[in-house]
Amino acid sequence: MKITSRLIISLVFRFNLRLLLLLLLLFLGYSRGMPHVLRFGGIFESIESGPSGAEELAFKFALNTINRNRTLLPNTTLTYDIQRINIFDSFEASRKACDQLSLGVAAIFGPSHSSSANAVQSICNALGVPHIQTKWKHQVSDNRDSYYVSLYPDFQSLSRAILELVHFFKWRTVTVVYDDSTGTGLIRLQELIKAPSRYNIRLKIRQLPAETKDAKPLLKEMKKAKEFHVIFDCDHEMAAWILKQALAMGMMTEYYHYIFTTLDLFALDMEPYRYSGVNLTGFRILNTENSQVSSIIEKWSMERLQAPPKADSGLLDGFMTTDAALMYDAVHVVAVAVQQSQQITVSSLQCNRHKPWRFGARFISLIKEAHWDGLTGHILFNKTNGLRTDFDLDVISLKEEGLEKIGTWDPPSGLNMTENHKSKTTNITDSLANKSLRVSTILVEPYVMFKKSDKPLYGNDRFEGYCIDLLRELSGILGFHYEVRLVEDGKYGALEESTGQWNGMVRELMDHKADLVVAPLAITYVREKVIDFSKPFMTLGISILYRKPNGTNPGVFSFLNPLSTDIWMYILLAYLGVSCVLFVIARFSPYEWYNPHPCNPDSDVVENNFTLLNSFWFGIGALMQQGSELMPKALSTRIVGGIWWFFTLIIISSYTANLAAFLTVERMESPIDSVDDLAKQTKILYGVVEDGSTMTFFKKTKISTYDKMWEFMKSRRTSVIVKNIDTGIQRVLTSDYAFLMESTTIEFVTQRNCNLTQIGGLIDSKAYGVGTPMGSPYRDKITIAILQLQEEGKLHMMKEKWWRGNGCPEDEKNKEASALGVQNIGGIFIVLAAGLVLSLFVAVGEVLYKSKQNAELEKRSFCSAMLEELRGSLKCQRRLKQKPQPPVIVKTEEVINMHTFNDRRLPGKETMA
C-alpha cells in the first residue's frame, strides 16, 4: 500500500507542477500582451431626454458583436463608456472627454458636430489618445501630430465624384442648394464651384432656409426659374423633407433631375416617388451586395425593429444608415489595431496635467496602418492626416423598382457607369405605356385642322390632319395617352429680340406646359439650343407661293414663234447666200450650159437657165417644199441643190413639229421665275409668317441674296410679315404678293387652289420633327417610333392621304386645243392677202412696162398700146392673142449685129455670112 501511495502522490505532484507552469506561462503572456478588458469612449449628441442615435446604437452593436464572436479579440473584452451631450455644446463635449480620459479609454469615438469634434480633438491631441470620427469633418490644421482618424470620405473626393456625374449627364446649367446648418456648406462642392471657370457650366447657388424645414418658398422660386438640374447638399433628414415638398409642388416629374450628396439616399422611403418619373441620383458607400455585409445589416435591422418606433425621419424602418455603418467599421478598425498590438496598457489621464498616454503614438500608428473590409468596403487610411483614402461609391438611381445601382466611383478610376445606363441620357422610366402626355400644336392645313361635323365634338375628336394621324400612330406604338391643345399665342416659336424670351410652342415646351409638340415645327439650330427634337418625320424646303399667271393668247403672227428671230434671219441669209453661190457656180460650170435647139446639134448657141432671178426662184421653191421647173445639170450645182434641200428639210420639219405646240397651247408668262427674280425687283411684295422658321432663316442667313430679301421685308415689316399661313395665302390671291413658305404646304395649297402655283425650286432644306423639352425622356422613344413608321411606309401613306387632292379641272380651251382659231393662225391670211395685193401691184407694173415696150416697138402711143394689152387680157375665153409686131420697113443692107440677150450667145457676122 505504501508503494502505491507514493506512486500516486508522485504522479499528482508532477501533474500539478505542469499545470502550475502552464498557468504561470499563460499569466505572464496576458500580463505582457493584450489586457483582459479594454474600454472605449463614445461621445454622442442627442436631444435632451431623446432616444439613442444611430451612431450610439451602432457603437454598442459593434462592441457586442466583437465580444460575442470572439474571432477578432478572443481573450479581450471590450467595454465602453458613453457620454451624451447637447448639440453645439463644445464645452460640455470637452468636459465629457476629460471624464472619459480619467477613467482610462483606448480611444474616443465622436462627437459628430464640427465645433464639439474640434474641442475633443484638441484634447486627444494633447494627451495622445486616438480620436475616431465617422462624420465628415474639414481637414485638421495639424496633420503631422494628429491623433485624428476619419472613416468618412474626404470632401475633395466627393466633390470630384459629383463633378464627374454632372459631366456624364451633360448638364450645362446647374443649381446647387446647400444646407449650412452644420457650418460646412459648399466645402464638399469645391470642385463643382470651380467648374464654371474651367468648363462650360452655368452655376447658380441657393441656400436652404435656416432653422426651418419649410423649403417650399425656395422650391417655388426654382420652379419659376425653370431650374431642372439641381444638386442638394444636405443630410438625409432634410433630403426627406425636400422630396416631400417637391412632390407637393409638382416638381417630381421626369423633367427634373436631382443629385443628393448625402450617402443615406438609399435609406429613404422612395415609395411615393417610384412612379413619378423624376430623375433621382445619389451615392452609396454601404456595400450591400456583399453577403456578409447583408447578414450584419439584417441582424441590425432585426434589433432596430424591436425597438420603440421613432418620430418620422423619412428613413425606412430598421435600415442601417451610413453613419451607423461607419461607426460599426470604426470600432472594428480599432479592434484590429488592438489585435496587432503586443502590449497596451490603458491608464488614467488628467486634462489639467497634460501628461500624454505613453502608448498613444504607437496605438494611433497601428490604427492608421490597419486594413479592414467592413460594411463600407475596404478601409485604408492616409498615414499622415488620417483621412480615408480607399473607398468605393455606388452610383444609385431611382427606377420604378426602387433605387438601383447604375455605376461606381472610386478615387483612382473615377466614374464608371454600367452599359445599361450608358445607352440612356437620363434615368427615367423605360416605357411610355399608360402615361398621359400634353401635346401642343397649331392649326395649319393639312397638318392640324378642325374636323367638320354636324355634331359637337370634344377633346381630341375636334381635330384631324396629318399630325393628328401621326400622333395616333405614335400612341399606338408606345402606348401613351395624350391630350391635344392649341398653342395659346398661335405662334410656332421664335426668340423675341425685344424681350429675349421665346414664344409659341417652343415656349410651352420650355415652361413644361406641354410634353410634346406635334406640328409642322422645323428643326433649327436656335431651337435645338432650348428644346429637343426627334428624328424628322418630313423633309422639305422653302419655296415661293404666287398666283398662277394668266394665259396669253397667241398673236396673229404666232406662226413665226416656233423659230426665233435669229433663226429667221439666219434662214434669210442662208437663202440669199445659196442663191448667189448657185448662180456663180452655174455660170462657171461648162456642164450647166446646154443647146436650146436639140434638133440642130450643130448649133453653136448654148443656153444657161440659172440666171440670178432663176437662182432665187430655185431656192425659194425648195424652201417652200414646192420645187421648180429648173433642175441643175452639173455635179457642182447638184451638190449645192442637194445640200440646200437637206437644209430646208430639217428646217421645215423642225418648224412644223414646233408649230403645233405654239399654236395650240396658251403661254403662261410669269413676272418671276425664281427667287433671284424676286430679289431683283421691288414691284411684287413678298413676305413670311411672323416668328416662323422661314423668318428665322432669312434673319440668320449669310447669303447676300437672301439677306437683301430680309432687309426688304424688314423695311416693310407691317405690310409683308403675316400672322399665319392663311393670311399669307389670302394676300397672294388678292394682291401682287409672293409668299415664302414651306414647300409641303405649297404642294397642299396648289392641289386645291388652281389660281396658285409654286415658283422656282427650294431655297433651303429643312425638316419637321416632334419637339420635346430639353432633356426629355420621351425623345428617344418618339424617334424609334418615327423610324418604325418610316420603314413601314406609313409616313408616306399618311402624306398621300392628306396631300392628294382632286386636282385642278382642265380648262375648256385646253380640252379643244387642236381646234385652231383666227387668233392662232390669222396671220397666215394676212400674209396671203399681202402677197395677193403685192402681186396685183406687180402685175400692174408689168402691164405698164410691157405697154411701154409695145408702144416703142409698134411706133404708137403708150395709151393705145396699154388699151390693146388690156383688151386682150380681158378676153377670158381666148387663150391666144396677137403678138405685137414692129412696122414693116425696107432693108437696104443685111446687117446682123451681135447682141447678147440675157444668157444666150449669138455668132458673129462672119459666121452668119
Annotate 711-780 with DSSP letters as a single string.
HHHHHTHHHH-BSSHHHHHHHHHHSSEEEEEEHHHHHHHHHH-TTEEEESS-S--EEE--EEETT-TTHH
Does residue 576 carry a pLDDT above 80?
Answer: yes
pLDDT digits (tens, 9 = 90+) for 596-653: 777 777 777 778 888 888 889 888 888 888 877 888 887 888 888 888 888 888 888 8
Q: Phi/psi at 645 (nearest 5 deg)? A: -65, -40
Q: Which residues contact 427 (CB under 8 A, 6 or more apart)?
A: 257, 279, 280, 281, 397, 398, 399, 406, 421
**Mean pLDDT score, 154-169:** 89
Q: When comparing pLDDT for 275 and 335, which is higher?
A: 335
**DSSP label at residue 879:** S
Q: Is residue 596 reached through a cis peptide bond, with omega within 30 degrees of 0 on the bond before it? A: no
In percent, the amount of the chain with pLDDT more than 70 equals: 81
pLDDT score, position 787: 94
**Mean pLDDT score, 231-242:** 91
CB 203 within 8 A of CB 192: yes
Q: Please name the CATH architecture into which domain 436-539+768-803 falls.
A: 3-Layer(aba) Sandwich (3.40)
108 strand-pairing partners: 41, 131
Q: Phi/psi at 398 (nearest 5 deg)? A: -85, 125
Q: When comparing pLDDT for 28 and 621, which is higher?
A: 621
CATH class, range 545-550+670-764: alpha beta
Q: When comparing pLDDT for 876 and 183, which is higher?
A: 183
CB 131 within 8 A of CB 108: yes
CA-nearest of 583, 594, 589 to 636 is: 589
Does residue 182 carry a pLDDT above 80?
Answer: no
pLDDT score, position 309: 58
Helix axes 360-369, 322-340, angle to 10 degrees: 120
pLDDT score, position 307: 63
pLDDT score, position 764: 86
Does residue 308 carry a pLDDT above 90?
Answer: no
Q: How confident is the model at residue 337 (pLDDT cuts 50, 70, 90)?
A: very high
pLDDT score, position 312: 61
**Mean pLDDT score, 227-256:** 91
Q: DSSP alpha helices (H): ranges in 343-406?
A: 360-369
Which amino acid, one-letter code, is at 124? C
Pick from 79-88, 260-269, 592-601, 630-639: least confident = 592-601
Does residue 283 carry a pLDDT above 50?
Answer: yes
Contacts 24+ apart (CB under 8 A), 570-577: 571/623, 571/651, 574/647, 575/619, 575/620, 575/623
Pick from 15-24, 106-115, 253-262: least confident = 15-24
Q: When comparing pLDDT for 438 and 696, which is higher?
A: 438
pLDDT score, position 791: 94
CB 518 within 8 A of CB 470: yes
pLDDT score, position 901: 40
pLDDT score, position 577: 87
Q: How confident is the model at residue 808 (pLDDT cuts 50, 70, 90)?
A: low
Q: What nine digits make up the cell of 251?
A: 416638381
Which amino acid, one-letter code, is at 572? L
Q: How confident is the model at residue 28 (pLDDT cuts 50, 70, 90)?
A: very low
Which amino acid, one-letter code, is at 69? N
pLDDT score, position 806: 65
Choosing among 3.40.50.2300, 3.30.70.20, 3.90.180.10, 3.40.1180.10, the CATH entry for 155-262+265-291+392-422 is 3.40.50.2300
Could you give the CA distance from residue 274 to residue 270 in angstroms, rounded to a whole number? 6
Pick from 95-109, 184-198, 542-556, 823-837: least confident = 823-837
Q: Which residues contact 683 (CB under 8 A, 6 or more apart)?
A: 671, 736
Q: How confident is the model at residue 882 (pLDDT cuts 50, 70, 90)?
A: low
Cβ burial of 47 (10 Å; 0-12, 13-18, 19+) is exposed
Q: How confident is the model at residue 25 (pLDDT cuts 50, 70, 90)?
A: very low
Q: How confident is the model at residue 401 (pLDDT cuts 50, 70, 90)?
A: confident
**Mean pLDDT score, 112-120:** 86
Pick from 299-308, 484-493, 763-772: least confident = 299-308
pLDDT score, position 81: 94
Q: Same topology for domains 436-539+768-803 and 545-550+670-764, yes or no?
A: yes
Reduced to 3 states (helix: H, G, I; strand: E, B; else coil), residue 761 is coil
Q: Which residues contact 141 (CB under 8 A, 6 or more apart)?
A: none
Could you give the CA distance from residue 508 to residue 773 in angstroms, rounded to a whole number? 9
pLDDT score, position 242: 94
CA-nearest of 376, 371, 289, 284 to 325 is: 376
pLDDT score, position 856: 81
In percent, the amount of the chain with pLDDT more than 90 equals: 37
Pick from 7-16, 169-178, 217-226, 718-727: least confident = 7-16
pLDDT digits (tens, 9 = 90+) for 492-536: 999 888 888 999 999 999 888 999 999 999 999 899 989 999 999
pLDDT digits (tens, 9 = 90+) for 405-427: 999 999 999 999 985 544 444 43
CATH class, range 558-665: mainly alpha
What pTM value is reported for the model? 0.66
pLDDT score, position 913: 34
Could you give the CA distance from residue 94 to residue 116 in angstroms, rounded to a whole number? 8
pLDDT score, position 482: 95
pLDDT score, position 823: 54
Pick from 319-323, 586-590, 625-629, 798-802: least confident = 586-590
**Domain residue extents for the chain:** 1-26, 33-153+321-379, 155-262+265-291+392-422, 436-539+768-803, 545-550+670-764, 558-665, 822-874
Does residue 429 carry a pLDDT above 70?
Answer: no
Q: Which residues contact 782 (CB under 8 A, 6 or more apart)?
A: 474, 478, 516, 534, 770, 772
Does residue 463 carry a pLDDT above 60?
Answer: yes
Phi-psi region of 475 (alpha: psi -120 to 50; beta: other; left: phi over 0): alpha
pLDDT score, position 599: 79
Assign a CATH topology to domain 33-153+321-379.
Answer: Rossmann fold (3.40.50)
Does residue 461 carry a pLDDT above 60?
Answer: yes
Helix axes 693-700, 704-715, angle to 10 degrees: 120
pLDDT, mean over the chain: 82
**Mean pLDDT score, 29-51:** 72
